[in-house]
A and B are shown apart, each in its own frame.
Chain A
Amino acid sequence: MMDELRDLYQEVILDHGRNPRNFGHPADATCEARGYNPLCGDQLTVYLKVDDKGVVQDAAFEGKGCAISVASASLMTELVKGKTADEAKRLFENFHHMATGDSETVPAEGMDDEMERLQVLSGVRDYPVRVKCATLAWHTMTAALEGEKEATTE
């Protein structure tokens, strides 16, 4: 039992869960969205600074949540910096594929390093109800990029 749980709660996740990176509300954010998980009531806000070339210059988040959702948000903000909006969305598609084990979608190429860092979250695949925790920040980021104010995991 402990081994299975260690697969889910790897040290990297516990670290990011306890000390989330890019936690806060940057004054120069150009877009933001609120994410809501009705199952548990968790809420977070994702802030992005996107330049006129469509590149994400800065990413941050605020909110409360479980270790999985906070760690996923923290890793996400690190990984989408420097990416175009399209690349960021593609990374989410790849991550979603990994988190759900969905074999229908074919992962996009060229994001091996990013996917390797996200590998620590692949354990959620064995916990279907926790997939929503892992993807909440990503749904919220996508909403922010598309000019929507809110996202839910429903």
Chain B
Amino acid sequence: MQGTTMDGGSKDIATRTGEATAVDYDVDGIRRDFPILAREVHGRPLVYLDNASSAQKPRAVIDTERAVYEEEYANVHRGLYWLSERATDRFEGAREKVRRFINAAHGREVIFTRNATEAINLVAASWGRTFLEAGDEIVISEMEHHANFVPWQVLRDEKGIVMRQAPIGDDGEFLMDAFAKLLGPKTKLVAITQMSNVLGTVLPVADIVRMAHDVGAKVLIDGCQGVTHLPVDVQAMDCDFYVFSGHKLYGPSGIGVLYGKEELLDAMPPYQTGGDMIRSVTFEKTTWAPLPNKFEAGTPAIAQAIALGAAIDYLTGIGMERIAAHERDLLTYATQRLSAVDGLRIIGTAPGKASVISFDLDCAHPHDVATIADRAAVAVRAGHHCAQPLMERLGVPATTRASFGLYNTRADADSLAEAMEQVRRIFAR
């Protein structure tokens, strides 16, 4: 179960600030792989803590994308010349890297999309419109990003489906008993996040899938946050759909992934139609290409897919388990540092959470907090984080959010805590 493996609470915390976090984790070396981390903002070294929104890119990703255009670029799947064959091999090679990374059974179960938002819209439009009927029920959680909320709401209003929200507790913990009560014979889909982008809560997705399957429902997992922090195995999880975006996974923007079980994808009609997704076209009738091309109409984001493959190679080279251990240490340390700031309240303290910390300060609005942090070159997000229903549940209009990635350090957490002291010096008078 994903949720129980993330307990970092018992780790020793070094008292000296800014020191390396794990003996075998070369964070300085990793930082050198990310060119942007060497730059300054407002005359200070960048402290990038908005990874839950979008992550920075290692040189391997940047170089790969450039090299594709400089050396190996042509359209895919149609050229009868060497360069196109080469580009096609690289593109399909990236699909294989994604397949292995999430342990899908076949490459044809891996569909390239623009991003996770498009992947969810694809499932809503294709699977949802075809297989859901009035009165059917969809269960989501109170923690969903708008991308896993609005597409279902639109479908609800279009088809007369019923949408139910699985609640969270005051610490941001997912309430399994309450979730279980929402499931029933009418439940046709559970569309749920693997990890909250606001609270850091990690959901026990394998258990959720099992319970949903017991009532005959399909399960879509929003893996946008989860895939960046946790090892993912879609077969072990047994989910029916799994989506994520490349840009949060240290890859390029413009590329995302929909994993779907083959039997489901086979039964679904195309989402978009056009070139590259057909078998044959006559004036009377068009037949669809086999998977995965059926869902990849038009020329895809070729260089971006290949560069996503490079991002996956980079992460695999470090090891997702080791990244997770490093981030657990950062979470523990940053939580401790922030908790020491007067008037600072951390929002989301579920056991086993991952390295996203939302908080509010009693003396200042999150917008003012983010502006002051920015002048210290600390990039944090302030706002509703595309999760307005969650903000309503928490009773706050907005939060400040610091999200840690594989290249962050304890020194970054120190800079954040110092910036929060600066906020207090200005506001708490």
Residues of A within 8 A of B (CB): 1-2, 4-6, 8-9, 14, 39-43, 64-69, 127, 130, 133
Contact = CB atoms under 8 A, between A and B. Distances in A.
13 contacts: A1-B42, A5-B375, A5-B422, A9-B368, A14-B426, A40-B366, A41-B384, A65-B367, A66-B367, A67-B364, A67-B365, A69-B367, A130-B371
B376 interface: yes
Contacts of B368: 9, 66-68
Contacts of A14: 426-427, 429
A68 B370 CA distance: 13
A41 B376 contact: no
A64 B371 CA distance: 18
Contacts of A43: 397
Given A66-B367, A68-B368, A41 B383 contact: yes
A66 B365 contact: yes
Contacts of A41: 383-384, 388, 391, 397-398
A83 to B, nearest CB: 29
B307 interface: no
Interface in B404-429: 422, 425-427, 429
B398 A40 contact: yes
Given A66-B368, A68-B368, A40 B383 contact: yes
Contact of B375 (A4, A66, A68, A133): A4
B426 A133 contact: no
Contacts of A5: 371-372, 375, 422, 426
B208 interface: no
A40 B429 contact: no
Interface residues on B, range: 20 to 34
Contacts of A39: 383
Given A2-B425, A66-B367, 12 more contacts: A4-B375, A9-B427, A14-B427, A39-B383, A40-B366, A40-B367, A40-B397, A41-B383, A41-B388, A42-B397, A65-B365, A133-B367
Nearest to B383: A40
B382 interface: yes
Contacts of A130: 367, 371
Interface of B: 42, 44, 364-368, 371-372, 375-376, 382-384, 388, 391, 397-398, 422, 425-427, 429
Contacts of B422: 1-2, 5
A120 to B, nearest CB: 15
Nearest to A8: B371
A42 B398 CA distance: 8
Nearest to B385: A41
Nearest to B429: A14
Contacts of B427: 9, 14, 67
Contacts of A68: 367-368
A127 B384 CA distance: 20
Nearest to A6: B426
Nearest to B43: A1
A121 B427 CA distance: 16
The 3 closest A-B pairs by CB, nearest first: A66-B365, A66-B367, A41-B384
A112 B411 CA distance: 48
A40 B398 CA distance: 7
Nearest to B376: A1
Contacts of B391: 41
A40 B375 contact: no
Contacts of A42: 367, 397-398
Contacts of B365: 64-67
B375 A1 contact: yes
Nearest to A124: B371
A32 B372 CA distance: 33
A43 B425 CA distance: 27
B331 to A, nearest CB: 26
Contacts of A65: 365, 367
A130 B44 CA distance: 21
A64 B427 CA distance: 16
A14 B371 CA distance: 15
Contacts of B384: 40-41
Contacts of B44: 1
Nearest to B382: A40
B165 to A, nearest CB: 19
Which of B367, B388, B425: most chain A Cβ within 10 A?
B367
Contacts of A66: 364-368
A64 B397 contact: yes
A66 B388 CA distance: 18
Nearest to A65: B365
A136 to B, nearest CB: 11
